[in-house]
Amino acid sequence: MASLSEEVLLVVKKVRQKKQDGTLYLMAERIAWGPEGKDRFTVSHSYSDIRCQKISPDGKAKVQLQLVLHTGESTTFHFANESTSRKDWEAAKELLQQLLPKFKKKANKELEEKNKMLQEDPVLFQLYKDLVVSQVISAEEFWANRLGGINNGESAACENKQEVGISGAFLADIRPQTDGCNGLRYNLTADIIESIFRTYPAVKQKYKENVPHNLTEKEFWTRFFQSHYFHRDRISTGTQDIFSECARQDEKGLKSLVTQGVKNPMVDLLSLEDKTLDEGYGISSALPSTSHASRTVKESSNFAIIKRFNHHSAMVLAAGSRKRDVPADQASETSSTDGNSRDSDFFQPPLKKVKLQEAIEYEDLQQENRPKTVALNLKKSDRYAHGPVPLQSQQYTTSQDIINSVNYIKHEMSNYKPNLTQVLSSAAASSAIAALSPGGVLMQQVAQQAINQMVPTEIQAELKHLYVAAGELLRHFWTCFPVNTAFLEEKLTGHLECMLQAAYSKFHIWQTRRMMRKT
Amino acid sequence: MKLNIDGLLVYFPYDYIYPEQYSYMLELKRTLDAKGHGVLEMPSGTGKTISLLSLIVAYQRAFPLEVTKLIYCSRTVPEIEKVVEELRKLMEFYAKETEEVNNFLALALSSRKNLCIHPEVSSLRFGKEVDGKCHSLTASYVRAQRHGNPNQPVCRFYEEFDAVGRQVPLPAGVYNLDDLKDLGRRKGWCPYYLARYSILHANIVVYSYHYLLDPKIADLVSKELAKKSVVVFDEAHNIDNVCIDSMSVNITRRTLDRCQNNVDTLQNTIQRIKETDAAKLREEYRRLVEGLKEANVARETDVYLANPVLPDEILKEAVPGSIRTAEHFVGFLRRFLEYLKSRLRVQHVVQESAPQFLKDIFDKVCIDRKPLRFCAERLQSLLRTLEITDISDFSAVTLISNFATLVSTYSQGFTIIIEPFEDRTPTIANPVLHFSCMDPSIAIKPVFQRFQSVIITSGTLSPVDIYPRILDFRPVTMASFTMTLARTCLCPLIVGRGNDQVALSSKFETREDFAVIRNYGNLLLEMSAVVPDGIVAFFTSYVYMENIVASWYEQGILENIQRNKLIFIETQDAAETSMALEKYQEACENGRGAILLSVARGKVSEGIDFVHHFGRAVIMFGVPYVYTQSRILKARLEYLRDQFQIRENDFLTFDAMRHAAQCVGRAIRGKTDYGLMIFADKRYARADKRGKLPRWIQEHINDGSLNLTVDEAVQLSKHFLRQMAQPFSQVDQLGLSLLTLEQLESPEMLKKIAQIAHQT
């Protein structure tokens, strides 16, 4: 039982698995369970294999914890100790919650993806077995080519996959519930945490800095929800808060957004007025500007709420579109700085022109001026279909020819008159039929069986595998051309040659084996 | 297409025309024929601008001696640019159809901030800074100094323009702001002065209201524009406020302190000049004796501080002796300043008329009316003589002297209110002297007098007859046009009750009522679930909005709304609001949908359009009455009652309803557009409110939708939106709300069109 020198983080006794009592061990890198009285683990999962944990809801009689693996299998543990089951379960769950995300990164997406690909594509799987498992080429090389292929071939499909945005109300979804004794309970899910991080990068930063060395995850979130940052409408009580910096950063971010100005000149309220009245003129019957000092507490808290909503919405919006258009954004940003900054506008801000045109357009007053499509009028459609063809090979029959000949044949057929004086005698005819029947004189040379019926299937399969493997290798080989990097050259001269050699010898072995079998 | 408008050949740059456009042009033609003024209301999005331009350009071409110039005034920079682009379209159409070279010159004029191409000056952020810096580089004495001292910085663009730019007039064409800047860069000329010079001979000038209505600027820029011009005020529903603003002055203690500094600086400068160059001051004195007219012959760049009153009344006289020498004038300013300071040391609110003020100042510090009148002019002359380059520093003393001139010139139509503190904070002393104009006709009177035709037009001018009364003019045509529609694309609903039958209203007594706020929240929440893309909600004021938002936040309503749409809120900071607006549009654009909480009378409600999916619904929470406790407003209401026989309540309701109409009208910008207009206040159902909405909105309010509950409104909205979502093509409109030339010329259509214009 103690044969492993791993660090054991938690031991929970009386945990049932498949109706067997046993002990659950949470170690540094894996979770394991051994039945009572045996000194070996019957269940052992590395954390990196675990996709998630599922827990039984509060208040259920059976206290259970289920681990779902990447492979889709799952293992269920039942905490059976009457008195402490709830506590044990709680401890195990907490620990797992902390451990799993760490390993999650290791078991990265790519692996999952490869796995999926292999599962979905048996040919690929076979190829993988032939080439990688038999160590003809390394796994990286195999995948380097493959994944590249995915990205190129299916890039359209991949990118079209929409980025899931963030719900605007994710903070509303974590409405606290009172737990009955003057406390609040917030239910956080991984999704919400993800949303918080994506919307407020400052919090993510804090999280990275403080968890787990300074604070546990739980403490972190507790403080988050207690902080003035979260309850921005309340007036701050202490400045010792780790989130006060976040608030400041957000403020700064907002300010920079504001100073950046807007790209669309039609919504720029600053430059809306042509000539503002000078200070001191005009009727200031509107509100006298309330400076911050003279604001009441209530007003400034209202003000903070408004600011916060604007910021929140802007961040949610940005989080939704951030990843997608980074390059596009950069491009437009540069062009907009050219357009909007006042001393560099040596060329027209194009956006402004477009927006102006849009604004004065009356679509229904105009004749519909969609670019008119010209109907494709082909005089010789066959030429369009076949493309230019070298002169000498002009022996194809045009569709017109075919139509003509069909017509001709039809015509012939309709005008067919049997010439009964020149038919074969029945004896000659029957002998001819006999000769043309299977087994007849004329049919002996023709192989009766197709090759696929002659060769046993397993040999066919083997041959196919060898063929595919050789094809894959050749593909590797040809992708090395043109040889323009040292790496490619090395690949070519070094191991690819060996690989081809190996493949060849493999084929050779197979052949001789086959010969042997035959003889 | 080519139209025959009452015998006038009008080129119209589209293939189709809305019936109301034709009708509008007819009315406009009548106004121009009569050489009179007109008030025309036509719904937004029915091509008002292009109708105006087409007709007036055609008129100009047909009768070049009758109408020499079109002065088109709009409110915002984007609006100005839009007008010029429409004009460009028209001119291109002319060129194509007539195939002859057009000799029309049309251009936009804007402030230096929008036209400057000087690398340093144009990088300044605020208009005032740009103006000041420009002045310091282009003033005539600065340039004169350069002869002696080549290191003196000047603006090379202005120098180049001054050297050669005036000789050849700007070639014919259409110049938008950016075109002017381009041209300026190519030629090395200052676009601003080029534009200002060119408006004198341009056929069409597009600029903002201030160039005509603010006497301080109008005098500089628009003084020499020909009398035979047609002036158009577009988006003119707020024109009275623009007039009033340009004539009103506020003086705080801070102004006076800064003014004190200015006066000290003046004193020192005079002292210094006296020692070095006394001849200069003597020269100025001589000029002033000869009268201001002489003094006023100055270069265009110098006329930076213009007189706030209209020149003719003053310039014939010579400057009174008591302020003729520089020292005396500074002493005079000091006395005036001390007097104002003493007036600001009050404990209670004072309200008096201009004559009372003049009498008081004469009794207390022996300042006569006459030198006060010349104060602005005299200061201007002094600043020029002293060769003060950075004039923006002297804004405080300029303000004071403008005030002096105004208060001594107009005995009527103004009131002086001195408030020792703000109403909301009675403990903090913050005295303000409001010198406020109550009569918008004062500022606009010279425009009506001078130009032969002035057209006031907007999407929302109802009730049309009130404008001639408050602006004091006699129009020859007043008309309100409806929008002919092939499908009812607007859906005004008046929500008067919550689902719990609580009456919804923003009136003062129920303003803090929890039930009302909750029901308002509920309305927004329900709508956010039903309406696609963008919703704009308007509140009656910032304070009201902040309170409601806070209590919605506490009640968790906002969180629920967030499940449906993102929320953006207008703030009092324009930059922040611009960002929120852009994000709002982005969210509408990418399908997430958003809600913009905004304020009636705010910048958004006045300047931003929410076309198509940017505004599928507008919700007006409450009736946007102006803050009625303000003393200035009270004084104005009294004045309106006494002078124009307009009842206070009538005016307040009119004012509230025009703002409400502006807000809800933001969502419909054309016949292919559609949107809900939700008036969430039971008071809208009353005839006196409803009757003041523009006709094109009013006629779609049916009696069944006068007092809806939230649920009923949601049902109606769903139904409406479902109908609107059906495909709608040009063919559906054709013959009803969209006409070809043949259809237009058919007699029954002409009969129908005659009914569109609603004469009042």
| Cβ atoms < 10 Å from Cβ of A150 | 15
Of A352, A353, A165, which is closest to residue A262 (Cα–Cα)?
A352
In sequence order, which residues have a C-beta less than 8 Å from that of residue A446 and are 6 or more positions away? none
The mean per-residue pLDDT over the stretch A378-382 comes to 69
**How close A365 gets to chain B, by Cα (Å)?**
5
Tokens of A359: 């604004």
User: Per mean pLDDT, which range of A186-195, A243-252, A391-400 is the poorest?
Assistant: A391-400
Exposed e or buried b per residue across B60-97, where buried means at least 16 C-beta atoms within 10 angstroms of its C-beta: bbeeeeebbbbbbbbbbbbbbbbbbbbbbbbbebbeee
Which among A272, A301, A305 has CB closest to B77?
A272
pLDDT value for B55: 95
Q: What is the pTM of this model?
A: 0.74
Which among B78, B567, B730 has CB closest to A265?
B78
pLDDT, tens digit, for every residue of B475-507?
Answer: 999 999 888 888 889 999 999 999 999 999 988
Looking at chain B, the number of H-run helices and the number of E-run strands are 36, 22
In the chain, the amino acid numbered B503 is A
**In angstroms, rounded to a whole number, what is the distance separating the alpha carbons of residues B368 and B289?**
19
The mean per-residue pLDDT over the stretch A22-42 comes to 80
Q: Considering only residues 336 to 355 of chain A, which have any Cβ-Cβ distance to chain B shorter than 8 Å? A: 342-343, 345-346, 348-349, 352
Q: Which residues of B touch A304 (CB under 8 A)?
A: none
User: Per mean pLDDT, which range of A345-349, B34-38, B344-348, B594-598 is the poorest?
Assistant: A345-349
> Do A168 and B566 lie within an 8 Å CB cutoff?
yes
List Cα–Cα distances, B649 to B243, B439, B586, in angstroms: 22, 18, 41
With a cut of 60, say whether residue B293 has pLDDT above it: no
With a cut of 90, say whether residue B384 has pLDDT above it: no
With a cut of 50, say whether residue A275 has pLDDT above it: yes
**How close B448 gets to chain A, by Cα (Å)?**
22
Q: Which residues of B touch A298 (CB under 8 A)?
A: 550
Tokens of B572: 């009092």
Residues of chain B with pLDDT > 90: what percent?
45
> Do B110 and A274 lie within an 8 Å CB cutoff?
yes
Domain ranges of chain B: 247-439, 490-727
pLDDT, tens digit, for every residue of B118-128?
Answer: 988 888 878 88
The mean per-residue pLDDT over the stretch B15-19 comes to 90
CATH assignment of B490-727? Answer: 3.40.50.300
**Residue that wins the pLDDT comparison between A82 and B401:** B401
**In angstroms, rounded to a whole number, what is the distance separating the alpha carbons of residues B12 and B86?**
11
With a cut of 90, say whether residue B655 has pLDDT above it: yes
Beta strands A43-46 and B37-41: pairing type?
unpaired
Largest Cα–Cα distance of chain B, in whole Å?
Answer: 85
List Cα–Cα distances, B385 to A123, A360, B376, B381, in angstroms: 95, 48, 14, 6
**How close A51 gets to chain B, by Cα (Å)?**
29
Tokens of B653: 């309701």
Q: Does A280 touch chain B (CB under 8 A)?
A: yes
Q: Are A465 and A126 in contact (CB under 8 A)?
A: yes
- Please give the residue of chain A at the shortest CA–CA distance from B254: A280
Q: Which residues of B touch A333 (CB under 8 A)?
A: none
With a cut of 70, say whether residue A485 has pLDDT above it: yes
Which among A302, A346, A357 has CB closest to B185?
A346
Q: Which residues of A touch B582 (CB under 8 A)?
A: 262-264, 267
List Cα–Cα distances, A336 to A349, B80, B104, B181, in angstroms: 7, 22, 33, 18
Which among A167, A267, A279 has CB closest to B395?
A279
> Do B16 and A366 lie within an 8 Å CB cutoff?
yes
Give the angle subtended at the CA of B474 by the CAs of B471 and B475, to the nearest 5°: 100
Terminal-residue alpha carbon distance, chain B: 31
pLDDT value for B363: 93
The mean per-residue pLDDT over the stretch B660-666 comes to 91
In the chain, the amino acid numbered A419 is N
pLDDT value for A337: 37
Q: Does A287 touch chain B (CB under 8 A)?
A: yes
pLDDT, tens digit, for every residue of B180-207?
Answer: 999 999 989 999 999 999 988 899 999 9
**In angstroms, rounded to a whole number, what is the distance separating the alpha carbons of residues B293 and B374?**
12
With a cut of 50, say whether residue A338 has pLDDT above it: no
pLDDT, tens digit, for every residue of A299-334?
Answer: 777 888 888 888 888 888 888 765 544 333 333 333
pLDDT value for B737: 85
**In angstroms, rounded to a whole number, what is the distance separating the alpha carbons of residues B661 and B689?**
11
**In angstroms, rounded to a whole number, what is the distance separating the alpha carbons of residues B546 and A456?**
84
> Do B582 and A365 lie within an 8 Å CB cutoff?
no
pLDDT value for A284: 60
Of B568, B560, B575, B484, which is closest to residue B529 (Cα–Cα)?
B560
pLDDT, tens digit, for every residue of B449-472?
Answer: 889 999 999 988 888 889 999 999
What's the mean pLDDT when you consider all of chain B? 87
Residue written as token pair 């076309």:
B611
Q: Residue B45, by phi and psi: left (phi above 0), alpha (psi -120 to 50) or beta?
A: left
**In angstroms, rounded to a whole number, what is the distance separating the alpha carbons of residues B697 and A477?**
75
**In angstroms, rounded to a whole number, what is the distance separating the alpha carbons of residues B369 and B578?**
46
Exposed e or buried b per residue across A93-103, where buried means at least 16 C-beta atoms within 10 angstroms of its C-beta: eeebeebbeee
In sequence order, which residues have a C-beta less than 8 Å from that of residue B481 and are 6 or more positions away? B20, B23, B24, B40, B41, B42, B43, B46, B695, B696, B756, B757, B758
**In angstroms, rounded to a whole number, what is the distance separating the alpha carbons of residues B527 and B561?**
9
Task: Kindly list the strands in the beta sheet with B617-621, ordered across the sheet, starting from the edge strand earlier in the chain.
Answer: B566-569, B594-599, B534-539, B617-621, B675-680, B490-497, B708-709
Q: Which residues of B touch A311 (CB under 8 A)?
A: none
Ramachandran angles phi, psi of A347, nearest 5°: -125, 160
Q: Which residues of B touch A356 (CB under 8 A)?
A: 78, 81-82, 85
Q: Which residues of B touch A306 (CB under 8 A)?
A: 546, 549, 569, 571
Largest Cα–Cα distance of chain A, in whole Å?
Answer: 126
pLDDT value for B653: 93
**In angstroms, rounded to a whole number, what is the distance separating the alpha carbons of residues A452 and A450?**
5
Q: Which residues of A touch B541 (CB under 8 A)?
A: 287
The mean per-residue pLDDT over the stretch B562-571 comes to 91
